Chain A
Amino acid sequence: MLETFASLAHGFDIALQPEFLAYAFGGCVIGTLVGMLPGLGPLAGISLLLPGTLGLSPTAALIMLAGVYYGAMYGGSTTSILMRIPGEAASVMTCIDGYAMTQKGRGGAALAIAAIGSFIAGTLSVIGLMLLAPPLAEFAIRFGPAEYTSLLLVGLIVLAYMSGGSMMKMLAMAALGLFVGMIGMDVMSGYARFTLGTIELRDGLGIVPVAVGLFGISEIILSAAKAREVSVEQPRLRELVPTAAELKSSVGPIGRGSVLGFLIGIIPGSAHIISSFVAYGIERRLAKRPERFGSGAVEGVAGPESANNAAASGAFVPMLALGVPSGPIPAVMLAAIMIHGVVPGPLLIAERPEIFWGFIASMYVGNVVLLLLNLPLVGIFIQVLRIPYRYLYPLILTLCVIGVYAVGQSVVDIWIMIAMGLLGYAMRKLGYEPAPLVLGMVIAPQIELSFRQALALSGGDYSIFVTRPTSAALLALAVVLIALSVRTALTQRADWRQRLGLEERV
């Protein structure tokens, strides 16, 4: 424990340097804007900012991108509460009671509770991340290629299971993502696959054009067609102070949301979205007067907002401890540090402590920055929402072109972005979730390498995947999840996702 605090102190030495403070601050401001603007979620925001971090050190890049991520979680709540427009999917539940509070003249208090809850949850979950990641990494050092293959596979299946919608569609997207990730040079033989004779595709498809196309461009196409002017309610500063009763009612939901969000965040899936749905459901169930939910219950804001911020930190546990992304956002962040030559995995904490502990400390700093930034400056931030979308989306598209071109200095990446934008649009219209595709694409080279290494180790004996206990346990979990989904499909029972309303809303 003492060692942990000594390492954390070292992390603060790094994070409090003016340079890193500036990156954390910049990331938080951009993230808040990204979270508020419809059409730019945290994933598209992080992907677009990625080229801007190429000239930075890996620590600075990670600090800035993480700032964007949890800044977006904060920012998303502002538009949900004031305008009933979720800036990003994790804020959908906040709309219900947050906007009802605004209609009753308590919008300012709802914003304050959301910010305080997010701050407490963010801070508590960073403590969880700090305590959990190092021992997990130590355990994972013993993993061989068989365990890694099973871990990556189960991560993908859990993501497919946790996402809303049909499991078959999710597995199809995971398979498509794994295939897309195998385009280019074969990691073991150097053989070029599916490159259509182009040199650019020999290095594979880049994560940035794929993520920007699937998440950003497709969203812009959908939003640009239905763009309308919005009226913005601007709360006065004195309205931001919650009453004693509102604060008292929020203590329990913030505590429960923090723990729940962190735990759900560790599990692969769209954790920040799912955690807010689960937290809302739990608060409504625990409430003495559940009928208040929907008409301005402060617990309906405090619970989901705490949970989605805690989940944002929880998602970093498998990413930093195992080098395994739990969803598309950590996957893009892993890609960001890999661009700088940092090898993710269980050895990261031991070999590059400045990255891990600098990052952890910057998250504490980021949470303070967001609390100080979001409440007093909410009036300034929401002015951005007054810009009509028909002016905004051409600017966002310009940034997409710069961002995508700058990473690889290749126009082929712009074509890939366009194709992925079209695919993403069709997927949204037809009820397919893009997250398993992106995750599959990122882990494909790793999974192929570890699968073939495991077979090379065992002399071609496939039993290596079931005779090693950790690998067997992980595969058993994958089989159970697939069986559960098949049962749901066959019996047409409403599963937990439908009961939570994920089917309709995510």
Chain B
Amino acid sequence: VRGGLHDDQISGAALAIAGALVAAQSWQYPMGSLAEPGPGYLPFVLGLALAGFGALVAAAGARSPAFRWRHFGDGPKGLAILAGLGFAALALERLGYRITIAVLLVYYLGVIERRSWAMTLALTLIVSLGTYYVFAALLRVPLPIGLFRF
């Protein structure tokens, strides 16, 4: 695409900005001296290195494929999957493991994948209770029980 941006130009620029931010933030920590580096020294050097490599990737980026949003066509479903995991992170210690996993599975199987409700509910019960039994009871991995003590 004439005039459009290329993949490496975008990703290289993002890395260069990230590197600059790391270097700037590292400056807030004690830098020490060249002979006796402090806690900010190596992160600062790495920030500069990241910014430099990112800039080089961006500079040579015209040879990479042109950036197209449609290459990310699986993105919406991916975000829906990640949203489910975000719910798990918010709910796990509040609702407890079994309820959280049950809601998560209903969301994935029933809402995202549109499986039949009978199948969704059967799998949800088997997996949420079954994995709790295997991990908490057999492997003794402590899993949260949440506000409802379940």
- A51-59, A95-103, A116-124, A318-326 - interface stretch: A51-59
In whole angstroms, what is the CA distance A274 to B89 when docked? 37
| Binding stretch for chain B, among A265-273, A355-363, A376-384, A393-401 | A393-401
Given contacts A172-B50, A429-B72, A451-B42, contact A406 B77 (CB under 8 A): no
29 A-B pairs, CB-CB below 8 angstroms? A172-B54, A175-B19, A175-B50, A178-B46, A179-B47, A189-B30, A191-B39, A221-B74, A221-B81, A224-B81, A225-B77, A225-B78, A391-B123, A393-B108, A397-B104, A398-B105, A398-B131, A399-B131, A400-B85, A401-B85, A401-B101, A401-B104, A406-B142, A406-B143, A414-B85, A415-B89, A417-B85, A461-B35, A489-B60
Checking B57, B82, B109, B140 against A394 with a beta-carbon cut-off of 8 angstroms, the contacting residue is: B109
Which residues of B have CB within 8 Å of A417?
Answer: 85
Knowing A222-B74, A225-B78, A429-B72 are in contact, say whether A402-B143 is a contact too (CB < 8 A). yes
Q: What is the 8 Å Cβ interface bit string for chain B, positions 29-55, against chain A (1 contact, 0 not)?
A: 110011111111011001101100110
CB neighbours of A432 from chain B (8 A): 11
Residues of A with C-beta under 8 A to B144: 405
> Which residue numbers of A lie inside 8 Å of B, CB to CB?
51-52, 54-55, 166, 168-169, 171-172, 175-176, 178-179, 182, 186, 188-189, 191, 193-194, 217, 220-222, 224-226, 390-391, 393-395, 397-402, 405-406, 409, 411, 414-415, 417-418, 421-422, 425-426, 429-432, 448, 451-452, 455-456, 459-462, 489
Please pick, from B30, B56, B89, the residue contacting A414 in the complex, using a CB distance under 8 A.
Answer: B89
B135 to chain A, nearest CB (A): 6
- Give the interface size bracket for B toward A: 35 or more
- CB-CB under 8 A from B88, the residues of chain A are 401, 414
Residues of B within 8 A of A418 (CB): 82, 85-86, 89
CB of B145 within 8 A of chain A? no
Chain A residue contacts of B123, Cβ below 8 A: 391, 394
CA distance A409 to B30 in the complex (A): 32
| Closest A residue to B49 using CB positions | A175
Do A422 and B82 touch (CB < 8 A)? yes
List of B residues within 8 angstroms of A221 by Cβ: 74, 77-78, 81-82
A-contact 0/1 string along B68-87, CB 8 Å cutoff:
00011111011001101110
Least CB separation from B63: chain A residue: A492
Chain A residues within an 8 Å CB radius of B29: 191, 193
Q: How far is the CB of B45 from chain A (nearest CB, A)?
A: 9
A182 touches B43 (CB 8 A): yes
- B22 at the A interface (CB under 8 A): yes
- Cβ distance A170 to chain B, nearest Cβ, rounded Å: 9
